[in-house]
Amino acid sequence: MKVIQVDRFISDANDKDAAKLRADLKAKGVLLVNLMSSPGSGKTTFLSRTLKDLSDLRLAVMEADIASTVDAERIAALGARSIQVHTGGMCHMDAGMTGAALEGLGTDELDVIFLENVGNLICPAEFDTGAHKNVMILSVPEGDDKPLKYPLMFEQSDVLIISKMDALPYFNFDLEKCRERALRLNPNIKIFPVSAKTGDGMAAWENWLRDARQEL
Amino acid sequence: MKVIQVDRFISDANDKDAAKLRADLKAKGVLLVNLMSSPGSGKTTFLSRTLKDLSDLRLAVMEADIASTVDAERIAALGARSIQVHTGGMCHMDAGMTGAALEGLGTDELDVIFLENVGNLICPAEFDTGAHKNVMILSVPEGDDKPLKYPLMFEQSDVLIISKMDALPYFNFDLEKCRERALRLNPNIKIFPVSAKTGDGMAAWENWLRDARQEL
């Protein structure tokens, strides 16, 4: 079997903007969490559950999407402060776009802001948004081979949420294999298998989030 | 709820290369099919089943991935002519990259070539690869709201495969709603719900493919 290599496009223009954003938010005591995954991995359901469970924290959400407001409507229905960002076809958020969204949202009187990035396992991993923590979601139906195929996302993430664990009986997903593959790419990644539907595993993730906010 | 709009990056530099590629392949009687989807929607399983079922046609596969050769190995194990394309982090294939891959694969004595594009529901829709037909896969676990969130992919596709139909009982997926949403964006899109696992629905898709090859 032949293997050929084609050109790569690299963009790292926005690292300075990201560092400034990160420092400004830290000075205000606001933790920014960048949430990334494939389309349909359950980001919004996972976020909704987290918002409900952590009602003692002041949480807000920035929903990035190419089009539609379906996700932001779901979050707003929970009573959380939220803003919809339309990327106009763009496949990721960068620091400039995140800064604009933060300005629209307002950062006063908040503990944690989630950026729900565009559903994409590739491009968002290449751009520093200014977040303090990068969290990725991989859902059980997507398969345990994803670390092999999208390594950068796993390398760039502080946390791997394995979602839709309630669907495990119906899919050929090997949790241990997935865990090994992720840890081989990134030995420091924290892995939380969860079901946002049943609530299983959510507490461990939520404790991690509380700690990350306190250690900011 | 506020909505803000950020900048869009547009690339359409490769349309001429794509048109030439398409014409050259047509002159040789080879149909090029560009297969696009999210990571983990079951592209390779779907392709494997199609290759097995259509053993009377001369089929070949170009597997585009950021990294790894897991998909191409699965295809090669079936005895089909195949090539692995590593995009080096790039989130899509364009006509230049497709041309390079076709050269590596060889186009003689073939009826249909599949390009399994990078797993991504956004960027691949923006670049003409030179394919005669664009086919997208949406899997049941991803959700029926995807046409609302990734409209360009649905607009650019000739065929929508709804995969993992065997998982329908375990997910909140409304097939009729999904169909309506896709048809609203693209009234000409052909929709085939399938299970590559059980084989249900595969024949309708395979008949469509035979017709597309004959009408080239």
Query: Sheet holding B133-139: strands in order across?
Result: A2-5, B81-86, B59-65, B112-116, B31-37, B133-139, B159-163, B190-193
Residue that wins the pLDDT comparison between B11 and B177:
B177
Instruction: Write the pLDDT tens digit of every residue in B5-64.
Output: 554 343 556 888 999 999 999 999 999 999 999 999 999 999 999 999 999 999 999 999
The contacts found for B70-77 with CB under 8 angstroms, 24 or more apart, are: B70/A145, B70/A148, B70/A149, B71/A149, B71/B43, B71/B44, B71/B116, B72/A1, B72/A3, B73/A1, B74/B44, B74/B48, B75/B44, B75/B47, B75/B48, B75/B51, B76/A1
Residue B12 in contact with partner chain A when CB distance is under 8 A = no
Domains contained in chain A, CATH given: 17-214 (3.40.50.300)
pLDDT tens per residue across span B61-105: 999 998 888 888 999 999 999 999 998 888 899 998 999 999 999
Residues in a beta bridge with A116: A35, A63
- B82–A contact, CB cutoff 8 A: yes
State what percent of residues in chain B have pLDDT above 70: 94
Indicate the burial class of A107 (C-beta count within 10 angstroms; 0-12, 13-18, 19 or more).
Answer: middle
Show the tokens assigned to A185.
Answer: 């790419």
B119 and A123 within 8 Å at the Cβ level: the answer is no
B83 touches chain A (CB under 8 A): yes
Identify the closest residue of chain A to B41 by CA–CA distance. A142
Instruction: State whether residue A142 sits within 8 Å of chain B by CB.
Output: yes
Q: Any idea what DSSP says for residue B150?
A: -
Q: Can you spell out the DSSP letters for B4-18? A: EE-------TTHHHH
The Cα of A37 is separated from the nearest Cα of chain B by a number of Å equal to 10
ipTM of the complex: 0.86
Q: Chains A and B: how many Cβ contacts under 8 Å?
A: 203
Segment-wise mean pLDDT, segments of 10 residues, chain A, 216 residues: 50 81 97 96 95 96 90 90 88 91 95 96 93 98 95 97 97 97 98 97 98 96
Q: Per-residue pLDDT tens for A58-112?
A: 999 999 998 888 888 999 999 999 999 998 888 899 998 999 999 999 999 999 9
- CA–CA gap between residue B171 and residue B146 (Å, rounded): 14
